[in-house]
Amino acid sequence: MSEETNNTRPWLPWAVALSVIVSISLGIKFMDWPNIFVTPWPLVNGVFTIQAIDAFEKITPLEAAPFSDQLRILAAILLLFIVGPACWIWGEIRSQKEHIKLKSFIWYVGVILVGMGLFSTIYGTTTRLISFQDDSVQNNNKLIRLSKTADELESDLRKMARKAYELYYLPADRGGGGQSFLAFEDSTGVKRPIRLSDLNAHLQSDYIFVLKEVQSDSSITIYGISDISGVDPDFKNADGRQGLLQVAINVHPEDGFSNINNKESNVPFR
């Protein structure tokens, strides 16, 4: 590179440095090039992830990362944010002091290291922000779906509750309980408690319903269960399964109301 070329094309050294930075970055991203001394953040994330997994599985406090990993992270940070700027400044001062038109090798090293440091920081931050936004969107979508399903279950349960009110007050000779959930009659006239089939015979729904064992003549509890996960993965569903979204409703005809039983429901806060 001649002095004339350098004078007429002052952007050329920067273009060369930028080309090297882009090449190295693409190599690290898509070709599995070593990134120990170029981007420390993946190594840091890896260490933290391993620590978190170990702590979760062993139920123990986080342990310090291995010394070799700590040394590699420290070396990467020093190289990118100490050595790089120092080389760049040194090379620039030397060029101006000695009136050297051509950029020295040390200048290129410094600019490339600083560029890689900036690239890794910006890329890591942007990736984290995008990941956070994606997680937020997914969580919001999940919450919306849970709420919508819970609303549908509650709507079906309230229809069944109204049917329970009607049957509760209906005389036994007309298919009701005569003001008792324990005084229904089967086809032979034998007394029996109210059944789920009495409540949902004409209900069109894609959900599963369970009637809690009837022990009171004036109150019952009905459960509606969906096929999607609820907020508590360890929740015991009324049909024997676990962790599914469930809504429970208590029906009290004598008190004139039915209420959602949050304690026996597995839904978002309502």
**Domain identity same for 131 and 30:** yes
269 inside domain: no
Mean pLDDT of 105-116: 82
Place of tokens 């004339």: 4
14 inside domain: yes
249 inside domain: yes
What is the CA 107 to chain-centroid distance, rounded?
45
Helix, strand or coil, per DSSP, at residue 157 = helix
**Domain identity same for 237 and 161:** yes
Q: Which segment of 110-119, 145-154, 218-227 scores lowest on mean pLDDT?
A: 110-119
**Domain identity same for 129 and 163:** no
**Domain identity same for 211 and 89:** no
**Domain identity same for 15 and 128:** yes
Length of the chain equals 270
Residues 140 and 268: their CA atoms lie apart, in Å, by 12
Q: How, if at all, do strands 191-192 and 208-211 pair?
A: unpaired
User: Which domain does 15 fall in, by range?
Assistant: 3-140
Please list, in sequence order, all residues whose beta carbon lies within 8 angstroms of the beta carbon of residue 22, skipping any fewer than 6 positions away: none
**Domain identity same for 187 and 256:** yes
**Domain identity same for 101 and 179:** no
**Domain identity same for 10 and 104:** yes
Q: Give 266's strand partners.
A: 246
270 inside domain: no
* Per-residue pLDDT reduced to its tens digit, 40-82: 555 565 555 555 555 544 545 555 556 666 677 777 777 777 8
26, 124 Cβ separation under 8 angstroms: no
The number of folded domains in the chain is 2
**Domain identity same for 85 and 159:** no
225 inside domain: yes
**Domain identity same for 65 and 135:** yes
Which range is most confident: 90-104, 106-120, 186-200, 238-252? 238-252
Q: Which of 140, 170, 189 lies at the terminal end of a domain, its last residue?
A: 140
**Domain identity same for 166 and 134:** no
Q: What's this model's pTM, rounded to 2 decimal places?
A: 0.53
Q: Which of 119, 140, 161 lies at the terminal end of a domain, its last residue?
A: 140
Q: What residue ranges in 89-201 does DSSP mark as E strands?
A: 184-185, 191-192
**Domain identity same for 120 and 174:** no
87 inside domain: yes
Of 220, 222, 231, 221, residue with least CA distance to 156: 222
45 inside domain: yes
pLDDT of res. 3 = 47
